[in-house]
Amino acid sequence: MADNQVVKVLSVDITSGATLSAALDLVQGWSEAAVAIGTFASATDVYFHAATTSDGTYRRVAHPIVNTGTAELNDWKIESGIAARVVPLPIGYQFVKFELSTGQTDTTTTLDVICKS
Protein backbone atom coordinates (compact mmCIF):
# COMPACT_ATOMS: atom_id res chain seq x y z
CA MET A 1 0.00 0.00 0.00
CA ALA A 2 1.34 3.41 -0.95
CA ASP A 3 2.18 5.89 1.80
CA ASN A 4 -0.39 8.40 0.52
CA GLN A 5 -3.34 6.01 0.93
CA VAL A 6 -5.56 6.67 3.91
CA VAL A 7 -6.90 3.61 5.67
CA LYS A 8 -9.78 3.73 8.12
CA VAL A 9 -11.52 0.87 9.91
CA LEU A 10 -15.17 1.34 10.82
CA SER A 11 -16.97 -1.20 13.01
CA VAL A 12 -20.62 -2.10 13.36
CA ASP A 13 -22.25 -4.59 15.75
CA ILE A 14 -25.22 -6.88 15.27
CA THR A 15 -26.54 -7.76 18.71
CA SER A 16 -27.37 -11.27 19.84
CA GLY A 17 -30.49 -12.60 18.12
CA ALA A 18 -30.76 -9.64 15.75
CA THR A 19 -30.27 -9.89 12.00
CA LEU A 20 -29.71 -6.25 10.98
CA SER A 21 -26.89 -3.92 11.96
CA ALA A 22 -27.18 -0.26 12.78
CA ALA A 23 -26.45 2.19 10.00
CA LEU A 24 -22.81 2.74 9.15
CA ASP A 25 -21.70 5.99 7.50
CA LEU A 26 -18.82 5.08 5.20
CA VAL A 27 -18.29 8.77 4.36
CA GLN A 28 -18.02 9.39 0.64
CA GLY A 29 -14.74 9.29 -1.16
CA TRP A 30 -13.24 5.88 -0.50
CA SER A 31 -11.81 4.15 -3.56
CA GLU A 32 -11.98 0.71 -1.94
CA ALA A 33 -13.86 -0.88 0.94
CA ALA A 34 -13.95 -4.42 2.29
CA VAL A 35 -15.62 -6.17 5.19
CA ALA A 36 -13.68 -8.45 7.52
CA ILE A 37 -15.74 -11.58 8.14
CA GLY A 38 -14.94 -13.59 11.25
CA THR A 39 -16.31 -16.94 12.30
CA PHE A 40 -20.04 -17.08 13.01
CA ALA A 41 -21.63 -19.11 15.80
CA SER A 42 -24.02 -20.60 13.23
CA ALA A 43 -24.11 -20.57 9.43
CA THR A 44 -25.39 -17.29 8.03
CA ASP A 45 -25.28 -15.35 4.78
CA VAL A 46 -24.36 -11.65 5.00
CA TYR A 47 -26.34 -9.22 2.83
CA PHE A 48 -25.34 -5.64 2.01
CA HIS A 49 -27.98 -2.86 2.28
CA ALA A 50 -27.73 0.80 1.23
CA ALA A 51 -29.78 3.99 1.56
CA THR A 52 -29.48 7.58 0.38
CA THR A 53 -29.60 9.00 3.93
CA SER A 54 -28.68 7.57 7.33
CA ASP A 55 -32.34 7.40 8.38
CA GLY A 56 -33.60 6.43 4.92
CA THR A 57 -35.07 3.20 3.63
CA TYR A 58 -32.37 0.54 3.41
CA ARG A 59 -32.62 -1.94 0.57
CA ARG A 60 -30.51 -4.93 -0.39
CA VAL A 61 -27.95 -4.12 -3.05
CA ALA A 62 -28.19 -6.26 -6.18
CA HIS A 63 -25.11 -7.91 -7.65
CA PRO A 64 -24.58 -6.72 -11.24
CA ILE A 65 -24.36 -10.25 -12.66
CA VAL A 66 -27.69 -11.75 -13.71
CA ASN A 67 -28.62 -15.22 -12.48
CA THR A 68 -28.88 -17.13 -15.77
CA GLY A 69 -31.25 -19.67 -14.24
CA THR A 70 -33.90 -17.10 -13.29
CA ALA A 71 -32.95 -14.10 -15.50
CA GLU A 72 -33.01 -11.93 -12.36
CA LEU A 73 -30.37 -10.00 -10.47
CA ASN A 74 -28.87 -11.69 -7.44
CA ASP A 75 -28.67 -9.96 -4.07
CA TRP A 76 -25.13 -9.00 -3.15
CA LYS A 77 -24.23 -11.39 -0.35
CA ILE A 78 -21.41 -13.26 1.29
CA GLU A 79 -22.28 -16.94 1.38
CA SER A 80 -22.47 -18.72 4.73
CA GLY A 81 -19.41 -20.87 3.97
CA ILE A 82 -17.15 -17.81 3.84
CA ALA A 83 -15.39 -17.22 7.15
CA ALA A 84 -12.18 -15.60 8.32
CA ARG A 85 -11.89 -13.61 5.09
CA VAL A 86 -11.77 -10.00 3.92
CA VAL A 87 -14.38 -9.49 1.20
CA PRO A 88 -14.52 -6.44 -1.14
CA LEU A 89 -17.69 -4.36 -0.94
CA PRO A 90 -19.47 -2.54 -3.75
CA ILE A 91 -18.22 1.08 -3.89
CA GLY A 92 -20.34 4.20 -4.07
CA TYR A 93 -22.66 3.76 -1.10
CA GLN A 94 -22.34 6.07 1.90
CA PHE A 95 -25.00 4.74 4.25
CA VAL A 96 -24.96 0.97 4.66
CA LYS A 97 -26.23 -1.83 6.88
CA PHE A 98 -25.43 -5.52 7.05
CA GLU A 99 -28.04 -8.23 7.38
CA LEU A 100 -27.45 -11.75 8.66
CA SER A 101 -29.77 -14.42 7.28
CA THR A 102 -29.68 -16.08 10.72
CA GLY A 103 -29.45 -14.27 14.05
CA GLN A 104 -26.47 -15.32 16.16
CA THR A 105 -27.45 -16.54 19.63
CA ASP A 106 -25.64 -15.43 22.78
CA THR A 107 -23.06 -13.41 20.89
CA THR A 108 -22.64 -9.96 19.35
CA THR A 109 -21.32 -10.05 15.79
CA THR A 110 -18.86 -7.28 14.95
CA LEU A 111 -18.10 -6.51 11.33
CA ASP A 112 -15.12 -4.32 10.51
CA VAL A 113 -15.19 -2.34 7.27
CA ILE A 114 -11.75 -1.42 5.95
CA CYS A 115 -11.75 1.68 3.75
CA LYS A 116 -8.89 3.16 1.78
CA SER A 117 -8.47 6.06 -0.60
Which domain covers residue 86, as residue numbers?
Answer: 8-116
Question: Is 2 part of any domain?
Answer: no
Domain tally for the chain?
A: 1
User: Do 24 and 96 touch, CB atoms closer than 8 A?
Assistant: yes
Cα–Cα distance measured from residue 42 to residue 67, given in angstroms and rounded to the nearest whole number:
27
Identify which has the larger pLDDT, 70 or 100. 100
Res. 74: pLDDT tops 80: yes
Identify which has the larger pLDDT, 66 or 12. 12
Question: Is 3 part of any domain?
Answer: no
User: Tens digits of per-residue pLDDT, 85-109?
Assistant: 899 998 889 999 999 988 877 788 8
Span 76-80, average pLDDT: 86
Q: What is the CATH number of the domain that holds 74?
A: 2.60.120
Question: Is 65 part of any domain?
Answer: yes
Q: Identify the pLDDT of residue 39.
A: 77
Q: Identify the pLDDT of residue 67.
A: 67
Identify which has the larger pLDDT, 6 or 84. 84
User: Tens digits of per-residue pLDDT, 7-48?
Assistant: 889 999 998 889 999 999 988 778 899 999 887 767 788 999
